[in-house]
Structure formats: structure tokens, C-alpha cells
Amino acid sequence: MIANHLWQSTLVALAAGVLTVALRRNRAAVRYWVWFAASMKFLVPFAALGSVGARLHLDRWSAAAPRSSDFDVLLDLVAHPFATPVVPRPLEAAAAPLGATAALAWVLLAVWACGSIAVLATWMRRWVRLRSDSRRCRAVERGREVDILRRVEGQAGGNGRTALAFSSAAHEPCVWGITNPILRWPQSLSARLSDAQIAAIVAHELAHVRRRDNLTAAAHAVVQALWWWHPIVWWLGGRLVAERELACDADVIHRGNDRRVYAESILKTCAFCVQPGPVWAAGVAGSDLQRRIEVIMRNRAEHLLGRSKKLLVAACAMALVAMPIAAGARRGPRAAVPSHAERAAAGPAFASASITPNTSGAPNPRGLGFPRGGQFFAENVSLRDLIRAVYGHEFLAPGRIVGGPDWVDTERYDVRAQAHGDPIPDERQSMVRTLLADRFKLVLHTEQRAFRGYSLTASGALGSRLLASSAICPEPGAPPPPPPAPGMVINLCGVSRGRDSLSGEGAKMWQLALLLERELGRAAVDRTGLDGRFDFTLDWSSAIRPAADLTQQTENRHRAIASALQEQLGLTIVPATVDVDVLVIDSAARPPGL
């Protein structure tokens, strides 16, 4: 999401500010690159780096690392505070035209685009004017200024490729261009300066050339055009200009130029200038003049980075790049998992099957199940209903199946199918998946998405209605147990929903979280850390307060559930950003002939 990307970029910018405070006695060039890295973060979302990590196939690490640690919870909350909530949406709302929220989003997008175009147009107008002025400049190949330029360039180890052009305008000296830099020099300025002062200013401009300041300024200009409404972006621009000028000033002094002569040359140049050059044409009179003069005349050497500061900068740089990649790797490589279409095509199939449209107009399904004898039936069901029924418990909750054409929800079907023999439950579901892939040309894939949902945690001692279970239950995918011996108690393992109540026998905490997800209408994950199976009974009917409207009724219901969880089971449900698996419908087609 854009909101999460902006939040992450803003945090990086603020962290860069803290880091530059720690580096305030060190070289300005180091601080400049810290600010520039924060600027470029606005162009590179962490999600892109996370996708790189997801493709590294770090299966061993991902399997060994705990996926529900407190650190993961904190990291998700900090990195994705604006995750999209999983909210159930009626089919009527899905088929309705654009609502007020969507219209507002388009309006904001239009304003954003207009602002970006306006910023680009303003800068383009300035660039065209500067380019026009540059064409009127007169190239100079010999003379006092050229001799000084070549001498200073030679002392700095340059190759003499920087051209000099005289300008008749009263502007500051500046470097124009990125690949072929030209030093634009106001011709009438030379009479006001001594050779030593000209050499100091030329040394400053050549420092801009070596540092590629025009290129980095253009890169930040792109950031400002894209995120023109974000104040942090403009603050970063000011810090970049300030630090680049201090870095060039330090370079001039480091190369043996007299501090007083250099300071006087800057003051005389500023007194001569009518207008400064643009940000992307690096000049000598930019930034806070008073502070620059104070720094130049202070005669205090900048400290080189010590071992501890080098480690600090390196650790921050590695964290900026490595943490998103590691987070993507922890979520597991999705690309290595076969698609649902591939698994369905390889699975068992029904001996015969028929699919017919249902035109009864009834709003809800009339039945779906597997009677004995290898039969499958579904009446008045949508394709999404069928997907939800056979693709696993984790996709039962609203919002876990996304995408697909509109008719996936609106068109209803009757399905009848017959298998050879009496297959086990897992084989039955696999047969239905094969049927959907064959008749509906259904193609799906699973991906992980971050949602604003709930985290189920254990807050202390377990409640009186949450007990360790002695039930012996088969694990998912295991063959059914043999028939019980005479007189043996049969364990009905699983969970069930009642009116304002939930119950479970031999249930795991993820099953309780799934039930809560269906009750609360948002994604919920188990972070209790409780292993094993439990028997529980949860009833919140007596805690629901009367409400005046539907919104208040929903809020009261959620409060009642949270209160009952705490009092009866000793568990807590708290808002959190959670990563959940969703089924994405890549493509689907109506059955042939329908």
C-alpha cells in the first residue's frame, strides 16, 4: 500500500536525522549520503525488497524461525500500520457502482497528479530558461579564468574535461550539465576577485563535478515531484543542499586554500549575484550563508569516521536493505509452491458430473455436501461458494478469496457428481477441485497479504472454560481412524458455532482463531504459543448490550466477545497487523454451453 510505503520512508528519513546528529562532528560528505539514501527510499518500497527475499528460497531458515514471535508482531505493527482490513462485503455492495469512498480516492489521485505535473512544469520552465541562458554563454578556451581552472583541476587530479563558458548575467558561478559539465562563469565577476579567490571558487565548483551533485539533485527532484505534498520530502531537499555545500567547502579547505580568502570570495560572489542558480545547477552561494562562513572560519578539523562510527553507518545501511529481504524470506518462498490449478489437474476426478444453472433466485445456497456412496451435490451455489468449500479451512472466512469476474459471485449453479467407490474426505475435496479446474477453467494461486486484523494471545493463566483435551484426534490429511471398539467413547474433534457462542473439543488454537475471524469479520491469527488440543466453551450472549443502530450493535458484539475471551478462556484478542494466506482467482470461465 502507498500509505505503508510512505510510513516506512518517513521512518527512514527520521532515522537518518538521528544518525546525522550522531555524525555531526564528522565529514559533511558522509551526512550527505545518509540524507540521499533516505531520499531514495521514497522511490524503493520495502515490498520490492521483500519480494527479493521471497525468491531466495531460504526454506531451512524460514522453517526454523518462529513465525509468531513478539518481534514479528512488533515488526509487522511498525512496518504495516495501514494494512487493509479484511471486512466482509455483501454481494450487492460488490456489484454496486462506485461509492463515495472510491470517488474520493479518484479525486485525491487527480489532485496528486495535477500537483506532480505542476511541480514538473515549474522545474521544466526553469530548466528551459537556464538552458537558453547556457546557449547564450560564450565558450572560453584561454585566458585568466581558464588558466586557473586548468591549474586547480590538475591539482585535484582531474582530466581537464570541464569546459568554461562566460555569461553576461549577474548570477553565481555554477556547474551546468551532468555528463558533460560546463562551468558557467559570470564574466564581470572576475574583476572583483583576486586569482586566489577565483581559484577557491573554481575548487568549490570542481568538487560539485567530482561528487556528481547535479545527478543526485536531479534524482531528488524526481522524489519531490512524486511526493510534492509530503513535508519530509522538502525537508530532505533542504538538508541535501546544506550538506553538499558544506562538503564542497570542506574539500576546498582540505586542498590547501586559505580560509579567509575563501570566505571573502563567497561573500563577494553573493554580493555580486542578483539571483541564485537552481538546485540542480550546483553553485557556490547555496545553503545557509552565515553557517557556512562560520564553519569555514572555525578552523576545526572534521573528524574522520572512527571504527565505532563506521560500524554504526554500516549496520544502518545493512539493516535498510537486509531487513526487508529477510522479512520476505521469513514469509516463505511462494513461487516454489505448485499452483492450485497444477495440483487440481493432477488430482483424482469424478466418474461423472453435471453442472446446470440455477435460476430460482434464492439468495443463499440450499445445500452442499458429500453423501455416502461417493456422491457430491451442491444446490444454488456460486463459484466462490464452491471454492470456499473445498480449498481448506483457512479460506472460509470472508475476504480470504479475492479476485475473479463479477459472475463468480452472482451466478448460481446446481452440481451433481459421482465418484468410483467411496473416497476419503481429502480425495473428495480434491475431486471437486479437479472438477472446478476442468469445467470452470479455474486458475488460482495463494499469496500472503498483510491485513489490519486481530492477534489472539495468552495473557496469563488459562480460564476455567479452556481445558487441556484428552481427545485423540487425527491430524489434517491423515486417514480416518478405524471404527471404535464397543463401549469406547467417540471423540468429536473440532469446533462449532452457536448463536453468540463457540465451542471446541480436541481443538487447536488456530481453529479458535479462525472462528473468531468469522465472528469479528477481520483476519485473526493464533499467537498464544499454546500447543496441543483443548476443550472450550465460549458464550458472550449475556454480555451484549442493546444498541440503537447496526454500527453500535457490531461494536457491542465485538466488545462482548473480547470480554468473554478474557474472563472465560483467559485469552486476549488485540488489534494487530497480521500476515494471512489468501486465494487469488487468476482466471475463470463459465462452463461450456451455459
Q: What is the pLDDT, as a whole number, of residue 285?
A: 58
- For residue range 160-205, list pLDDT tens digits in order: 678 999 988 878 898 988 888 999 999 889 999 999 999 999 999 9
Alpha-carbon distance values, 564 to 461, 538, 592 (Å): 15, 7, 51
Mean pLDDT of 21-29: 92
Question: Quick check: 500 pLDDT over 70?
Answer: yes
pLDDT of residue 37: 95
Choice between 134 and 486, residue whose per-residue pLDDT is larger = 134
**Distances in whole angstroms, Cα of residue 236 to Cα of each of 16, 240, 351:** 10, 6, 67
Return the SS3 of 266: helix
When the pLDDT of each residue in the chain is averaged and rounded to a whole number, the result is 82
DSSP 406: T
Distance between CA 453 and CA 578 in Å, rounded? 6
Cα(496)–Cα(502) distance, integer angstroms: 6
| Residue 277 in this model has a pLDDT that exceeds 80 | no
- 272-295: average pLDDT: 68
The type of residue at 60 is R
Residue-wise pLDDT for 341-357, tens only, equals: 545 555 688 889 999 99
- Give the pLDDT band (50/70/90) at residue 276: low
Q: pLDDT higher for 374 or 82? A: 374
**Has residue 545 got a pLDDT over 60?**
yes
pLDDT bracket for residue 331 (50, 70, 90): low
Check if the beta carbon of residue 464 is closer than 8 Å to that of residue 537: no
Residue 502 has pLDDT above 60, yes or no: yes
The more confidently predicted of residues 512 and 477 is 512
- Rounded to whole angstroms, how far apart are CA atoms 270 and 342? 71
Identify the pLDDT of residue 448.
84
Task: Check whether 486 has a pLDDT greater than 70.
Answer: no
Residue of 300, 292, 223, 236 whose CA lies nearest to 26:
300
Does residue 363 or residue 479 have the better pLDDT?
363
pLDDT at 232: 95
Let me know the angle formed at the C-alpha of 592 by 587 and 594, rounded to the nearest 5 degrees.
100
Q: How confident is the model at residue 251 (pLDDT cuts 50, 70, 90)?
A: very high
More confident residue, 303 or 526: 526
- The answer on pLDDT for 476 being more than 90 is no
Grid cell for residue 173: 558561478
**In b/e form, how buried is each residue of 417-427, taking b as 16+ CB within 10 angstroms?**
bebeeebeeee
What distance in Å separates the CA atoms of residue 72 and residue 75, rounded to the nearest whole number? Answer: 5
* Residue 161, pLDDT score: 78
The CA distance from 101 to 123, in Å, is: 33
- Cα 288–289–293 angle (5° rounding)? 120
% pLDDT > 70, the chain: 81
Residue 301: predicted pLDDT: 63
Question: Domain extents for the chain?
Answer: 2-104+305-330, 113-297, 340-475+491-587
Q: Per-residue pLDDT for 313 more than 80?
A: yes
Render pLDDT for 139-158 as a digit per residue (tens, 0 to 9): 898 899 999 999 999 888 77
The more confident residue out of 256 and 393 is 256
Amino acid letter, 212 = R
Read off the pLDDT of residues 556-568 as tens digits, 9 standing for 90 and up: 889 999 999 999 9
Q: Which three cell numbers stand for residue 424?
A: 476419503
CA dihedral of residues 4, 5, 7, 11 (deg, nearest 10) = 140
* Predicted pLDDT of residue 217: 94
Q: Residue 81: which pLDDT band, with cuts at 50, 70 and 90?
A: low
Predicted local distance difference test score (pLDDT) of residue 459:
74
| Phi and psi angles of residue 539, each rounded to the nearest 5 degrees, phi first | -135, 120
| Of 234, 26, 17, the residue nearest 119 (C-alpha) | 234
